[in-house]
Chains A and B, each alone.
Chain A
Amino acid sequence: MAYSDKVIDHYEQPRNVGSLDKNDDTVGTGIVGAPACGDVMKLQIKVEDGVIKDAKFKTYGCGSAIASSSLVTEWVKGMNLEDAEKIQNSQIAEELSLPPVKIHCSVLAEDAIKAAIKDYRKKHGGGDEA
Chain B
Amino acid sequence: MNMSIKTPIYLDYAATTPIDQRVLDKMMPYLTSHYGNAASRTHAYGWAAEEAVEGARVEIAKTINADSKEITFTSGATESNNLALKGVAEYLREQGKHIISVVTEHKAIIDTCKHLERNGCDVTMLPVNAEGLVSIEQLAAAMRDDTILVSVMFANNETGVIQPIAEIGALCHERGVLFHTDGVQAFGKVPIDVKKMNIDLMSISAHKIYGPKGVGGLYVRRRRPRVRLSPQIHGGGHERGNRSGTLNVPGIVGFGEAARLAREAMPAESARTFALREHLRQRLSEIPHAILNGSLEHRLPGTLNMSFAYVEGESLLMGLKDIAVSSGSACTSASLEPSYVLRAMGLDDELAHSSLRMTIGRFTTRDELDYVADQIKFHVERLREMSPLWEMVQEGIDLSSIEWTPH
A interface residues (Cβ-Cβ under 8 A, vs B): 1, 3, 8, 11, 14, 17, 19, 31-42, 58-66, 101-102, 104, 107-108, 111
Collect the chain B residues with CB atoms within 8 Å of residue A42's CB. Answer: 388, 391
Contact A66 B405 (CB under 8 A): no
Contact A11 B349 (CB under 8 A): no
Collect the chain B residues with CB atoms within 8 Å of residue A34's CB. Answer: 404-407
Closest to B404 in A: A34
Contact A17 B386 (CB under 8 A): yes
C-alpha gap A19/B388 in the complex (Å)? 9
Closest to B332 in A: A1
Closest to A17 in B: B386
6 pairs, A vs B, C-beta closer than 8 Å: A11-B319, A35-B350, A37-B336, A42-B388, A59-B387, A63-B315
Contact B349 A37 (CB under 8 A): yes
**Given A31-B388, A58-B388, A101-B334: A38 touches B312 (CB 8 Å cut-off):** yes
Contact B338 A38 (CB under 8 A): yes
Contact A108 B407 (CB under 8 A): yes
Contact A66 B386 (CB under 8 A): yes
* B contacts with A, residue count (CB < 8 A): 30
Q: A33-B407, A38-B330 are in contact. List 4 more A-B contacts (CB 8 A).
A: A32-B405, A38-B331, A59-B388, A63-B314
B348 to chain A, nearest CB (A): 7
Would you list the 3 A-B pairs with minimal beta carbon distance, nearest first? A34-B404, A36-B349, A35-B350
Collect the chain A residues with CB atoms within 8 Å of residue B311's CB. Answer: 60
Interface residues of B in 314-357 (CB under 8 A from A): 314-315, 318-319, 329-332, 334, 336, 338, 348-350, 353
Contact A33 B389 (CB under 8 A): no
Closest to B353 in A: A38
Contact B404 A3 (CB under 8 A): no
Most buried by A among B315, B391, B406: B315
Contact B386 A102 (CB under 8 A): no
Contact B407 A35 (CB under 8 A): no
Contact A35 B349 (CB under 8 A): yes
Collect the chain A residues with CB atoms within 8 Å of residue B336's CB. Answer: 37-38, 101, 104
With an 8 A cutoff between CB atoms, is B385 at the interface?
Answer: yes
Collect the chain B residues with CB atoms within 8 Å of residue A108's CB. Answer: 407
With an 8 A cutoff between CB atoms, is B310 at the interface?
Answer: yes
A30 to chain B, nearest CB (A): 10
Contact A37 B388 (CB under 8 A): no
Contact B389 A35 (CB under 8 A): yes
B115 to chain A, nearest CB (A): 27
Contact B312 A61 (CB under 8 A): yes
Collect the chain A residues with CB atoms within 8 Å of residue B391's CB. Answer: 19, 42, 58
With an 8 A cutoff between CB atoms, is B142 at the interface?
Answer: no
Collect the chain A residues with CB atoms within 8 Å of residue B315's CB. Answer: 11, 61-63, 65-66
**Given A36-B348, A60-B389: A101 touches B331 (CB 8 Å cut-off):** yes
Closest to B400 in A: A35
**Given A17-B385, A60-B389: A35 touches B399 (CB 8 Å cut-off):** yes
**Given A36-B350, A101-B336: A59 touches B407 (CB 8 Å cut-off):** no
Collect the chain A residues with CB atoms within 8 Å of residue B388's CB. Answer: 31, 40-42, 58-60
Collect the chain A residues with CB atoms within 8 Å of residue B331's CB. Answer: 38, 62, 64, 101-102
A99 to chain B, nearest CB (A): 10
C-alpha gap A64/B336 in the complex (Å)? 14
C-alpha gap A61/B315 in the complex (Å)? 6
Collect the chain A residues with CB atoms within 8 Å of residue B314's CB. Answer: 38, 62-63
**Given A62-B312, A66-B315: A33 touches B404 (CB 8 Å cut-off):** yes
Contact of A33 among B348, B386, B405 (CB under 8 A): B405
C-alpha gap A35/B398 in the complex (Å)? 13
Interface residues of B in 71-130 (CB under 8 A from A): none
Collect the chain A residues with CB atoms within 8 Å of residue B387's CB. Answer: 58-60
Collect the chain A residues with CB atoms within 8 Å of residue B319's CB. Answer: 11
Contact A36 B407 (CB under 8 A): no
Most buried by B among A33, A61, A111: A61
C-alpha gap A104/B336 in the complex (Å)? 10
Interface residues of B in 277-315 (CB under 8 A from A): 310-312, 314-315
A105 to chain B, nearest CB (A): 9
Contact of B310 among A38, A60, A65 (CB under 8 A): A60
B313 to chain A, nearest CB (A): 8
Collect the chain B residues with CB atoms within 8 Å of residue A32's CB. Answer: 405, 407
Collect the chain B residues with CB atoms within 8 Å of residue A3's CB. Answer: 318
Collect the chain A residues with CB atoms within 8 Å of residue B348's CB. Answer: 36
Interface residues of B in 363-406 (CB under 8 A from A): 385-391, 399, 404-406
